[in-house]
Amino acid sequence: MPDQNGGTSGGLFGGVFARGGAIIDDTAWLQAMLDAEAGLARALERAGLAPPGTGAAVTRAARAADFDIAELGELSALTGNPVPGLARALTRAVGGQEGRAVHRGATSQDILDTAAMLLARTAIDAARADLLAAAAAAAELAREHQSTLMIGRTLLQQAVPVTFGVVAAGWLAGLDAAIEGLTWVRNTRLAAELGGAAGTLASLGADGVRVKALLAEELRLADPPLPWHSERLRIIDVGMAMARATAALSKIARDVTLLAQTEVAEAAEGAGARAGNAAGAPRRGGPSAMPNKGNPVAAVAILGCARQVPGLLATLVASAEQEHQRAAGAWHAEWQPFGQLLQVASSAASWGSELLGGLEIDTGKMGANLAAAGGLPLAERVTALLRNALGGPEAHDLVATAVAKAATSGVPLRDILLANPDLEDKLAKAGITQADIDAALDPAGYLGASGDFIAAALAAHERQAAADAGP
């Protein structure tokens, strides 16, 4: 359950890795399996294969709180999965002739696979809502900071000037792509599973196809053309969509951790998140030993979630090699990593919404860090200015020498260039003035298509938002 601070009570690490609107734990799995069984009972009743009232009776009994998870776990050792024990317990709980309809026509994999799809829908819906909020926050940052100058960094070294607006626009594009992928999976790849022992629904005879369709309708899942017991691309598609979401979030989180470094200090998580709720309350970002620190907890948590995803996804992909009509081991290997991937991905999305919704940008520090570079990030532009007067090789070598002197002496590049008598004479002959040098060293004039890129990202975001909103 969510606590008052937006975390969860889902175990020792729940506040970090089981956060947001989707808690995929044993109870969630149990309830999803019970929902699948109840949906099947309702479908059987609608098909005329179970007495009137059967669906309602099974649905009433299908409450996870009324079942012993530990006992079901022990029973699973007898059959290799928890469904047979659950079906027996549910049959006893329903009782009477209605109880005879429990699990009719189904095999264990039908119930677990359908439960997995129900959990996937819950997790995708929660993650998607948080990603939409994060994307809206990123769009606002892109709009607000279209002209906020900062140093661009490549390979962790200073490069050329950019704006924070174009940085936020890049974040936005990644989030929008992740949302698009989740929406596609949500709308097209979540399907009910009902195939019986070997995927033919033989035990239901001529009624099997209709019951499968009714089950899908009852659970609001797609009705696939045929059972997918050993065709696992739906599982991989869910995992991949969630992995793409965590990838987009991890890029943002890594940028924030770098921008929040003490020596950089261009961004920080919101002050409200860092402060304690009351006197003596734990302080967000406060480590156990250093009261001076304010760690970027949300960004770090996102990265902690995201680092787990590749291994979990790899297990799902490796498990797709399944023999014949039902796999021996590969299907079983999916259960835990699938649930864990849903959990950490939705948790990362929750953290991402909080991170971007409260991100503080220090525009003054961005400007100061750019100015402290002493014009070196504009060396490329100065070289282009001098190329016409000196020729390409000479211009490159001269500016490279000036850059080296500026870097070692701490003297701005402008002063090094203008103190060179040989260059002064050549510039005069070429009609290049001191004002031209100053203009070449103005970072605001060397932003290329940044404004166009921001506008394009925002326009794409607005189109996607309009499409999501529908008519």
Cα separation, 147 vs 361, whole angstroms: 13
Helix then strand then coil, % of the chain, to nearest 5: 65, 5, 30
Is the Cβ–Cβ distance between 59 and 66 less than 8 Å? no
Cα torsion angle, 156, 160, 165, 170, sign: negative
Q: Tell me if domain 108-365 and domain 376-440 are identical in fold.
A: no
Cα separation, 260 vs 360, whole angstroms: 10
End-to-end CA distance of the chain: 35
Domain boundaries, the chain: 108-365, 376-440
Location of structure tokens 């950019």? 162
Question: What pLDDT does 428 receive?
Answer: 81
Question: What pLDDT does 110 receive?
Answer: 98
Tokens of 248: 């987009």
Question: What pLDDT does 271 receive?
Answer: 59
Long-range contacts of 254-258 (CB under 8 A, 24+ apart): 254/299, 254/303, 255/167, 255/171, 256/296, 256/299, 256/355, 256/359, 257/296, 257/299, 257/300, 257/303, 258/153, 258/156
Residue range 207-218, pLDDT digits in tens: 999 999 999 999
Cα torsion angle, 437, 439, 444, 449, sign: negative
Question: What pLDDT does 259 receive?
Answer: 98
Phi-psi region of 285 (alpha: psi -120 to 50; beta: other; left: phi over 0): left
For helices 379-390 and 421-430, what crossing angle results, to 10°? 70
Tokens of 13: 């690490």
Distances (CA, A) of 412 to 159, 233, 378, 395, 462: 16, 58, 11, 18, 43
Residues 6 or more apart from 273 whose CB is under 8 A from it?
A: 284, 285, 297, 298, 354, 358
Cα separation, 335 vs 82, whole angstroms: 11
DSSP state, residue 195: -
Is the Cβ–Cβ distance between 158 and 206 less than 8 Å? no
Question: What pLDDT does 278 receive?
Answer: 46
Nearest CA-CA partner of 339 in 46, 106, 28: 28
* pLDDT tens for the 471 residues of the chain, in order: 344 334 445 689 999 999 988 999 999 999 999 999 999 999 999 999 999 999 999 999 999 999 999 999 999 999 999 999 999 999 999 999 999 999 999 999 999 999 999 999 999 999 999 999 999 999 999 999 999 999 999 999 999 999 999 999 999 999 999 999 999 999 999 999 999 999 999 999 999 999 999 999 999 999 999 999 999 999 999 999 999 999 999 999 999 999 999 999 999 998 544 444 444 444 455 554 444 457 999 999 999 999 999 999 999 999 999 999 999 999 999 999 999 999 999 999 999 999 999 999 999 999 999 999 999 999 999 999 988 778 889 889 989 999 999 999 999 999 998 888 877 777 787 788 889 999 999 999 999 999 999 999 999 999 999 888 766
Q: DSSP string covering 306-356, please? A: HHHHHHHHHHHHHTT---TTS-SSHHHHHHHHHHHHHHHHHHHHHHHHHHH
Question: What pLDDT does 422 receive?
Answer: 74
Residue 151: count of CB within 10 angstroms of its CB: 22
Tokens of 12: 């020792």
Domain 108-365 has what CATH class?
Answer: mainly alpha
Question: What pLDDT does 370 receive?
Answer: 96
Q: Name the fold adopted by 376-440.
A: Ribonucleotide Reductase Protein R1; domain 1 (1.10.40)
Cα separation, 469 vs 471, whole angstroms: 7
> Three-state SS for 280?
coil
Is the Cβ–Cβ distance between 62 and 90 less than 8 Å? yes
